[in-house]
Amino acid sequence: MAIETNQEKQMDKAEEEAKFAEAEKRAKAHPGGDNLKLIRSSERAKELQKKSTEARRRNKERIQTLKEFWKDFDKAGLTLADEDGLDRIRGLDVMRFLMKKAFHDEDFELAGLYAEKIAQYETPKLAAQQVVTANIDLKDLSDEEFQVELARLEVSSKKNTE
């Protein structure tokens, strides 16, 4: 093993600095080079390379999962557009499919959430009725006023029941 002298170390360092300066020039000349960040440490470069590899692996898994999802979607007879390019799928169809998929994946909590949302569209909502109460003392009304008030209440009652 050769012993490096200070002069050799300085030469190596000077060469390294010259390579780095050249790399900076190339980066600046590159379109978008102002956004590039040069890495001086090989350890840091290896660390970032591992992160990049892991991110690519995760993205491939996501793409594969999405492909499987669309295959299941097509198997269920749901396509986003028909031959004419018109959408024939409704949002409710998608929610039903996702609920079934959640059951299949044994994610019962998610399936329950979808079922709750679907139920809002499948079951009719009860119509709210306005109830008006009026207290009228019959002693204070004449026979004619009583007949007029009775006719008004009957008309109002018929409108509410229709």
Which pLDDT does position 33 carry in this prediction? 74
Whether the model pTM is above 0.85: no
Which pLDDT does position 63 carry in this prediction? 85
Spans in the chain with pLDDT lower than 50: 1
Does residue 56 sit within a domain?
A: yes
Which pLDDT does position 84 carry in this prediction? 60
Specify the DSSP element, H or E, that contains 154.
Answer: helix 143-161
If 0-12 CB within 10 Å is exposed, 13-18 middle and 19+ buried, where does residue 114 land? buried
Which residue's entry shows tokens 């986003």? 80
Does residue 85 sit within a domain?
A: no
Which pLDDT does position 1 carry in this prediction? 45
Does residue 82 sit within a domain?
A: no
Task: Print the domain residue range for 102.
Answer: 90-123
